[in-house]
Amino acid sequence: MKFSKLFIPTTKETPNDATLPSHQFLLRAGFINTSGSGLYNYLPLGKIVLDKIRNVVKEELDNSGAQEVQLSFVTPIEFWENSGRASKMGLEMLRIKDRKNNGFVLSPTNEEAMVELVKNRVTSYKDLPINLYQINTKFRDEARPRFGLMRGREFLMKDGYSFHANSEDMKREFHLMEETYKKIFARLGLDFRIVDADSGAIGGTGSKEFHVLANSGEDTIVVCDSCNYGANIEAAKRVPRQIEEKKSLTSGKIHTPNTKTIEEVSNFLEINRSQTIKAVIKKAVYEECEKVAVFFVRGDDELEETKACNSINALELADISEEEINSAGLVAGYVGIKDLPANVIFKIDSELRDENDMVCGANEEHYHLAGVDVCCLSEDVYFDLVAVSEGDICECCGGKLSYTKGIEVGHIFQLGDKYSKALGANFLDNNGKSKSFEMGTYGIGVSRLVAAVIEQSHDDRGCVWTKETTPFFVDIIISNGKNEDEMAAGTRIYEDLRSAGVEVIMDDRVKERFGFKMSDFELIGFPYAVVIGKKLSEGLVELVCRRTGEKEDIPLENIVEVLKNK
Ligand code: ATP
Ligand code: MG
């Protein structure tokens, strides 16, 4: 490809709203442009990268035995009503009406549509297992579309769904997908980590996320310094904390004026924060109503909101005002585990079970209770609610846990029969009995990967593409486009590289100066440049490595061989 013919509108200006390097560089280097909030156009270079990633995903999935299909992007709202998700999906799911007033949605995901596709077509255990996937547009009306391709509203996802006669076979496929995903992300040249993930309201045991490790990642990942354990903080576990020595206090109500925070109470009573119980109050949002929920954790722990939300099966947790707290019969700043109003839901962190001699609010202004024993409560109030902190101990090996940041690029899920049951998708088992399919579901953020590669691989001058993702492997830079010898030598190398199967672009622009071409090379981020310049008269060209910046003079006749071996 000739640079002069390719539509690559590079620019020096950094758009205001672009804070992440991938967002800035992809716009500046002419890979994408913005067509609306969370909406992007792919220009030629961007389209090449997107297709390359797509192809790696497709090749590895096809090798694993999965089959590619393509579902309609617009799906009837009935699918979502039948599964019960129409009301759960909230505003992220964009709903539309056709001219006959029929309801549709722009697919945010396709569990329902895929079950509908298989239903009554796959009817016997003999037809199982089957794994169908698509690489298709999704639309989610994200509350905060940001970071460019990282969190768009319209984006490209690979979503796969497998159907099985029993859960053992579903688990086998889940492991196969885990292995397949490893191959995909390794081929893309990414440094990634597989972590335990939150399974949300869907439940089930096996949900894993694949995270590209990058400082800009939106997710906090908990990792162990001495074993392979890794988990999204939403699902991370630890060995229960060792508690510092407690001070013995007389049981009963104590006057603790103006001590609304854990800090204030523990200072006032001269006790460790770990001897106190913290109440975190939230508004729990359900399909049909809202309730006030209180979560109790140890004073020196933080509440993990996803865990808290799961513990009460809410759609989401929202902030609550002091007025709302008061009208629920609670006294903000003094909420404790005893005598809570009946209309308030509450959960207690499991690590507080059977704990004694604690301090918590007395549900009365300016008063706390001392010598509180956490006992005699029903089993279902206890739940793992805490956010694991750095320095906590790993459950698997006793090592130290710490945080790192990740970009979620894949999520695999043991789904069970939730959707097949709700949508009446059955097959006949080997005894002739009708059963719902066991399902797995597997997602990859294909367009998010374009950004993730760059988050992990860039410098202050621009992108540094990996071998599998780069739009072209080599950029032949003709220093002076008017120099016929340079152009002739460049063209010869260009043709030879093409015949050797190397993906090559030639910067043959006549008007642009060498410095400009070089900074475009750095901004766009091809792995290598071959500079045809002054030393051509000595029979030499310069090979530049984008990643290391290393430059090396290579005899003209060897350059194709050298590049073929890179
Ligand atoms: P997130 O927590 O980042 O919102 P999710 O849990 O909603 O992701 P899934 O429903 O599991 O995502 O979707 C599968 C994959 O699609 C994700 O792992 C992610 O890589 C990608 N993805 C999800 N939302 C977006 C988005 N708004 N823009 C780009 N890619 C996305
Ligand atoms: Mg999401």
- For residue 7, tell me if it sits in a domain: no
> Considering the domain boundaries, does residue 342 fall inside one?
yes
What CATH number did the domain enclosing 340 receive?
A: 3.90.960.10
pLDDT for position 205: 60
Question: What pTM, to 2 d.p., does this model score?
Answer: 0.93
Rg (CA), the chain: 29
**Pocket residue to mutate for ligand 1, from 91, 412, 448, most atoms within 8 A of Cβ:** 448
What SS3 state is found at 220?
strand
Ligand 1 probe mutation, 411, 441, 449, 455, most atoms within 8 A of CB: 411
The pLDDT, as a whole number, for residue 15 is 83
**What confidence score (pLDDT) does residue 202 get?**
55
In this structure, the answer to whether residues 353 and 330 fall within a common structural domain is yes
Separation of CA 260 and ligand 2 centre (Å): 35
**Site of tokens 């006057």:** 255
Q: How far apart are CA 472 and CA 492, in angstroms?
A: 17
Is residue 12, in this structure, part of any structural domain at all? Answer: no
Residue 449 and residue 539 share a domain: no
Residue 490 CA to ligand 2 centre (angstroms): 47
Count of all residues that appear for the chain in the document: 566
Nearest C-alpha neighbor of 344 from the set 295, 417, 415, 277:
295
Phi and psi based region of residue 69 (left: phi greater than 0; alpha: psi -120 to 50; beta: remaining): beta
Q: What pLDDT was estimated at residue 245?
A: 86
Tokens of 441: 């579901």
Q: What is the pLDDT of residue 201?
A: 53
Q: What is the DSSP letter of 152?
A: -
- Asked which of 383, 413, 444 is the last residue of a domain, the reply is 383
Q: Is 428 within the bounds of a domain?
A: yes
Cα(172)–Cα(164) distance, rounded to whole angstroms? Answer: 10
The residue whose CA is least distant from atom 19 of ligand 1 is 445
In a domain, 176, yes or no: yes
* Residue 171 burial class via C-beta count within 10 angstroms: exposed 0-12, middle 13-18, buried 19 and up: middle
Ligand 1 mean position, distance from CA 219 (Å): 12
3-state secondary structure of 514: helix
Return the ∠ at Cα 342 (arms to 340 and 346), rounded to 5°.
Answer: 60
Asked whether 211 lines ligand 1 (CB < 6 A), one says no
CATH number at residue 554: 3.40.50.800
Claim to verify: residue 125 and residue 201 sit in the same structural domain = yes
Centre of ligand 1 from the C-alpha of residue 151, in Å: 8
Rounded to whole angstroms, how far apart are CA atoms 360 and 277?
A: 5
Which atom, in ligand 1's list, is nearest to the CA of 210?
A: 18
Pick the last residue of a domain from 349, 383, 417: 383
Q: Do residues 411 and 514 share a domain? A: no
Tally of structural domains, the chain? 3
CATH at residue 433: 3.30.930.10
Ligand 1 proximity of 411 Cβ (cutoff 6 Å) = yes
Ligand 2 mean position to 462 CA, how many Å? 28
Residue 443 near ligand 1, beta carbon < 6 Å: yes
Ligand nearest to the CA of 151: 1
Nearest atom (ligand 1) to Cα of 108: 10
Residues 119 and 230 in one domain: yes
* Closest ligand to Cα 135: 1
Atom 12 of ligand 1, residue of closest alpha carbon: 411
| Closest atom of ligand 1 relative to the 444 alpha carbon | 15
244 C-alpha to ligand 1 centroid (Å): 41
In a shared domain, residues 505 and 547: yes
The C-alpha atoms of residue 172 and residue 165 are separated, in whole angstroms, by 12
Distance CA 53, CA 29 (A): 18
Same domain for 508 and 448, yes or no, is no
Do 290 and 362 reside in the same domain of the chain?
yes
> Which atom of ligand 1 has the smallest separation from the CA of 218?
3
The per-residue pLDDT for 200 is 65
The atom of ligand 1 lying closest to the CA of 152 is 28
Residue 288, in any domain of the structure: yes
At residue 109, what are phi and psi to the nearest 5 degrees?
Answer: -170, 170
Do 62 and 146 belong together in one domain?
yes
The rounded Å distance from CA 497 to ligand 1 centre is 39
Indicate the SS3 state at residue 165.
coil
User: Is the shortest distance between the CB of 140 and ligand 1 below 6 Å?
Assistant: yes
> In a mutational test of the pocket of ligand 1, which residue from 408, 415, 449, 453 has the highest number of ligand atoms less than 8 Å from its CB?
408
| Token duo for residue 59 | 């090749």
Q: Are 65 and 210 contained in the same domain?
A: yes
In a domain, 393, yes or no: no
What ligand 1 atom has the least distance to the C-alpha of 159? 14
Exposed (0-12), middle (13-18) or buried (19+): which is 253, by Cβ within 10 Å? exposed
Q: Are residues 489 and 429 part of one domain?
A: no
* 232 and 256, same domain (yes or no): no
**Neighbouring-strand partners of residue 146:** 151
pLDDT in single tens digits along all 566 residues of the chain: 999 999 999 998 888 889 999 999 999 999 999 999 999 999 999 999 999 999 999 999 999 999 999 999 999 999 999 999 998 888 999 999 999 999 999 999 999 999 999 999 999 999 999 999 999 999 999 999 999 999 999 999 999 999 999 999 999 999 999 999 999 999 999 999 999 998 765 555 689 999 999 999 999 999 999 999 999 999 999 999 988 889 988 899 999 999 999 999 999 999 999 999 999 999 999 988 999 999 999 999 999 999 999 999 998 999 999 999 999 999 999 999 998 999 999 999 999 999 999 999 999 999 999 999 998 788 899 999 999 999 999 999 999 999 999 999 999 999 999 999 999 999 999 999 999 999 999 999 999 999 999 999 999 999 999 999 999 999 999 999 999 999 999 999 999 999 999 999 999 999 999 999 999 999 999 999 999 999 999 999 999 999 999 999 999 999 999 999 99
| Gap from CA of 199 to ligand 2 centroid (Å) | 13
**Ligand 1 and 152: CB distance under 6 A:** yes
Mapping DSSP onto H, E and C, the string for 196-238 reads ECCCHHHCCCCEEEEEEECCCCCEEEEEECCCCCEEECCCCCC
Q: How far is the CA of 433 from the centre of ligand 2 (A)?
A: 38
Residues 119/120/122/126 CA torsion (nearest 10 deg): 130
Among all bound ligands, the one having the nearest atom to the CA of 212 is 1
Is residue 34 in some structural domain? no
Which domain range does residue 420 map to?
Answer: 47-74+107-237+402-455
